[in-house]
Amino acid sequence: MRKELRKIVCIALCAIAFGFSPQKAKSENAETELFSRITSLSKAGESKKVMALGNEFHNKYPSSSKRGEVYVIMAEHASSPDVSLKLYREASFRLKGNRSLDARLEVCRILQLASRWKELEEEARSAVALASDELRKADFMLHLARAYISEEEYEKCADLCEKVIKISDRPSHVLPSLLLLSHAERKMTGYSRGYFAILRDIISGFHQSENACSALYLLGRAYHERGDYNRAYSAYREVTKRFPRSPEASFASAKIATLENHHPKIVGFLPDEAFLKSLDKIDLTSYGPTEEDHIPKKLYYAIMLGPVAEKSDAVKIAHSIKNEFSPVKIVHSARGYAVYAGRLRDTKSASTMKIRLAEEMGYNGKIVRLRIDDNKTYIYGE
């Protein structure tokens, strides 16, 4: 009997020495089980249950190493951008290394969608300093460039875009950098040699991408405003031929109609070296605005609110704004439920509505373009 007692005591002492505790093991198992439940509910799209169990997890296990990941999961299911922003920031504080940077990248995306440019500038600049991996650094540099161009800091934007192109050859980095660079170049130097060269590089290097579509339209518009009607017509025609379902195709078709009186011919439109050399480095010519002339009747602008995870939340938003900002429509997608308000003819009216929704209702929306063809509605980004 004494031998058995000694054996039990010896086992207990060894367990204490090695830090083993049945109660601790049970607690760890319960923690892991709760985390697994949260993960499973997230995959099933059960947003309300995810949020409830997430809060339960934080209350029960305040010292858990999994808290950062729980905050990330909760942020993905948050009912509003502000809540999501708060949760991602908590996650970035608790996570380490690249996982912390992943959370900060989501913060930047939300700030961009909400047009909170000063906050985006501060967040992105801070993350650029922390990122050691060049590709992750490029992600944050692009967000910083977007903030700069929205704040009319065109030189800073251009410098940053050139740095991104040097450190990354990924299309997801190079293409948006080139487009941002073209916008900055246009603002700084007009329809200059540099501007045409950038558009040519986008069209030639990424000829089937959405960015090439935008570059083609911008190239046609540049020719149009310079009075080069044959090249303008040819570039617009290429947009309608290569990207027939794009919003740019609707714009291009309308522009083609305005060129009929000039009897344009199809010619080569990509800027060659001879054409580029004929241009000034800085174009000081003043051109009239044409971007929103002749908008097709079936092309409109609206304000998108959301998406939110639950349909009931989208219904509440729609109900709160329908009297002042009609028509209002709820659209369900893989990302959740989004509310679309208004059907406006130009971006000035859309910007006014966006500001009113923010100031009067507290909703930070995004301007989108709608094209209606054959009773179908196509929605495009800002």
The pLDDT value given to residue 127 = 96
Asked if residue 171 has a cis previous peptide bond (ω within 30° of 0), the answer is no
pLDDT, one tens digit per residue, over 107-142 is 999 998 888 889 999 999 999 999 989 999 999 999
Please, what CATH class does the domain formed by 173-296 belong to? mainly alpha
Length of the chain: 382
The pLDDT value given to residue 92 = 95
Q: What is the DSSP string of 176-210?
A: HHHHHHHHHHHHHHSS-HHHHHHHHHHHHHSTTSH
pLDDT, one tens digit per residue, over 17-38 is 555 455 555 557 889 999 999 9
CATH (residue range 20-130)? 1.25.40.10
- CA–chain centroid gap for 258, Å, is 34
- Looking at per-residue confidence, does 95 or 341 come out higher? 95
Assigned CATH topology for domain 299-380:
Alpha-Beta Plaits (3.30.70)
* Fold match between domain 173-296 and domain 299-380: no
* Cβ count within 10 A of residue 112: 21
Whether the model clears a pTM of 0.75, i.e. scores above it, the answer is no
The pLDDT value given to residue 186 = 86
* Cβ count within 10 A of residue 121: 22
Tell me the torsion sign for CA atoms 261, 195, 115, 79.
positive
How do the domains of the chain map onto residue ranges? 20-130, 173-296, 299-380
